[in-house]
Amino acid sequence: MGQFWLARAAGDYLEGVPGPLLIVLEDVHRADEETLQLLRHLAGRLARTPVLVLLTHRPAEAGDDLTATGAALAVQAVENITLGGLGEREVARLLAERSGTEVDEATVRTVTERSGGNPLFVTETARLLAVDGPSAAHALPPGVRDLIRRRLARLPATAQTTLRNAAVLGREADADVLIAMPGADEETVLDGLEAGVLSGLLEEPRPGRVRFAHVLVRETLYEDIPRLRRTRMHGKVLAALERVRPGDVGALGHHALAAATTATALTAAEYAARAAGQATALYAHKEAAALLEGALGALDLVSGGAGDASRDVRLDLLCRLVSAQSHAGDVITAVRNRTKALAVARQMGDRGAVARAVSSLDAPVIWTIQPDRALDADLVGAIEESLPAEAGELRCRMLVALCHALEGHDAERIEAASAEALAIADALGDLRLRCMALNGRYWVCLTPDRRDDLETLGHDLLAASAAAGLLGYQTLGHFSLLMVALSRNDWTTARRHADKAMELSTSGQLGLALGILAFLDALHLLVRGEFERAESVYTQLGERLASTGDANGAMVGTVGRFVVKLAAGRVHESVEELAALWERLPQDAGELYTRALAGAGRLEEARVVWASARVPRQDYYWLVFMSLRADNAIALGHRGAAEECYRLLLSSDGELAGLHSGSVTLGPVAHTLGDLAAFLGRPGDAEAHYMRAAEVARQVGSPHWEEAARRALTRHRR
């Protein structure tokens, strides 16, 4: 009777509204046998009736009855459509709608990858995002876990075992390794993998390999394995890999660490160290660092990590970890681990071991790696005490380490140490050492009187690093030339070098290269007078650099906000933030805090603070702090300091103070010179300087600083 009722319904429908009748049956994979038989029966009887039947089902859950129904309906079926997962745009919309929060691009990418675009999985993740925030993108939602468990439960027990073994291998598994695992049977493994593919839990990306359709499927299987059994299973995988994939160093290292016990710890550390070496050769420095940390963790299983494990092995792993982390951009952690390596080396009582430890941080250095710009006297002493007498590679590397340690504290010693390191590198004909030596020399070429030297150094770095294929030092070379271009107010050339630095940066330098580009963006906004946007960019920059391991990332945000507020006439708003910085760094933050207090009219407090300020360092911020010192000398009526500032700043009258640093600027140095000349009673000089300031501001495209110079000139002429 069903077909007659549907035919009549279709006819009644057609009388009222043009077009056929659409019937939608959802989730027919859940239909029982009787329902599917009726569907097959009706399909034949309704062949001439204007009824469109739309069936939806999950292919992974299709049973034999539904498969038979599909075959029977093949004659009537117009089209079969397999829906893929949602794309990133759709996932972003769904996450925003279901979580009620703003979701960033990184979170969207993570959820899309982990869920495979499955709408249900995305929705469940959105619920967690609403409660736990972005960290929930990496979590396994309880609802998803339960759904996956139900799907797995439909498989035969042997297939479930095979899938668990595959989950131990990772997101993707090699069939040969699964078959080679102790106790495995080839036919059983193949049957299990076939069941996983037919159920939609596995995919076949290429012959002999399977891949979990969703990361969440693999995680559910893996996390449901008790830890004790999981460790044993990794051991079985390791045994299989040693038999059939002995050259897969990375996989051997991973599974050796996961299977490590007291008895196998040293072997696991050895495997992990080999895998780290391979990762380093491929510029995968973060992966190398993770493997080396795992190797050190394995050593800790042996008698608490100290007694039975060789200190030499531990020192080697620590030194390699420092190198990997510094190349990966995690400088803060690298510096801490260098301190640990130095402690181990001293326990060994071996000067050679100390030398290895202090020279372990061997990545290119563009910005300071000294936390709070403080001199590490212990490190400097260790370098000096263990410096070998022979002019070989180790002495060269240690001299470079000495340059980085003394940066901002002793320019003469850096000059001598870097010159000697460069001579050793050239005598050995070692381009890597030459690049390292040039990096050490970099620190004494950053002041205004050494711009020609900095330009030569930049070109030398590009030539040597290109010949040796050292991408990181090419980034340093381009940054050096970027600074030279900015000192000439040449935005176009500076941007070109920034783009090249970005293009050539290694994975570990990517955050740094992005920071260089973002600094240029912030500077452009500041120069053009878009103060609110500039302040926002500086805040984000500080947070980003701190998160990627920059030694002074948080300070970047503070100084960036200060220069914006100073340019906008709101410097008094910086008092509270700079007070906290001054409490921590009274000598280095003294000029900044004094300027903020003076701008707020708190002159007596400013005098007290100014007394603690050190003479500005000879580095890339020298022009910034000298210009601030000039402002403070005027505000506090200190003629002697004002005369000294005028003399020192005079040769930089065509620059924007600090612009060459690529990070901050205070505006035309000529304007500061005009203020100094007026304070010192030199009206003719003051007028010339203000006119020069307006010219420089116009040249760099800064209407607000040009207008400020013209206002100062008008006031001066009255």
- Contacting residues for 421 by C-beta, under 8 A, at least 6 apart: 396, 399, 400, 403, 433, 436, 437, 440, 441
**Number of Cβ atoms within 10 Å of the Cβ of 48:** 7
pLDDT of residue 213: 85
pLDDT bucket at 666, cuts 50 / 70 / 90:
very high
Residue bearing tokens 């300020």: 613
What is the pLDDT averaged over residues 342-352? 92
Residue 17 pLDDT greater than 50, yes or no: no
Q: Which residues contact 585 (CB under 8 A, 6 or more apart)?
A: 372, 373
520 vs 88, residue with greater confidence: 520
Q: What is the CATH topology of the domain spanning 615-718?
A: 1.25.40
Q: Could you state, in order of their start, the residue ranges of all structural domains in the chain?
A: 2-72, 88-139, 615-718
Q: For position 14, what pLDDT does the model report?
A: 43
Q: Which range is most confident: 32-36, 137-141, 524-528, 612-616?
A: 524-528
Q: How many residues does the chain have?
A: 718
**What is the pTM assigned to this prediction?**
0.74
**Which of 138-152, 542-556, 558-572, 607-621 has the weakest average pLDDT?**
542-556
pLDDT band at 305 (very low <50, low <70, confident <90, very high): very low
Rounding to the nearest 10 degrees, give the CA dihedral for residues 303, 304, 305, 308. Answer: -20
Give me the pLDDT at residue 308, please.
Answer: 41
C-alpha pair distances (Å), 217 with each of 147, 162, 166, 385, 386: 10, 14, 11, 56, 54
Residue with tokens 């599917």: 36
pLDDT tens-digit map of 184-214: 999 999 999 999 998 888 999 889 999 998 7
Tell me what pLDDT residue 251 has: 92
Asked if 662 and 482 count as a contact pair (C-beta separation under 8 A), the reply is yes
Question: With bands split at pLDDT 50, 70 and 90, how would you rate the model's confidence at 384?
Answer: very high
Q: Given this model, what pLDDT does residue 58 score? A: 66
Only one residue has tokens 């205004």, namely 448
pLDDT score of 501 more than 50: yes
Extract the tokens encoding 306.
């100290």
Q: Which residue stretches of 349-430 are H helix?
A: 351-358, 377-386, 393-406, 411-428
What pLDDT, on the 0 to 100 scale, is given for residue 486? 94
- When pLDDT is averaged across residues 225-243 and rounded to a whole number, the result is 92
Work out the percent of the chain whose per-residue pLDDT is above 90: 55
Contact 556, 537 (CB under 8 A): no
What the block records as the tokens of 611 is: 């007394």
Residue 125 has a pLDDT of 72
Q: Which has more confidence, 259 or 37?
A: 259
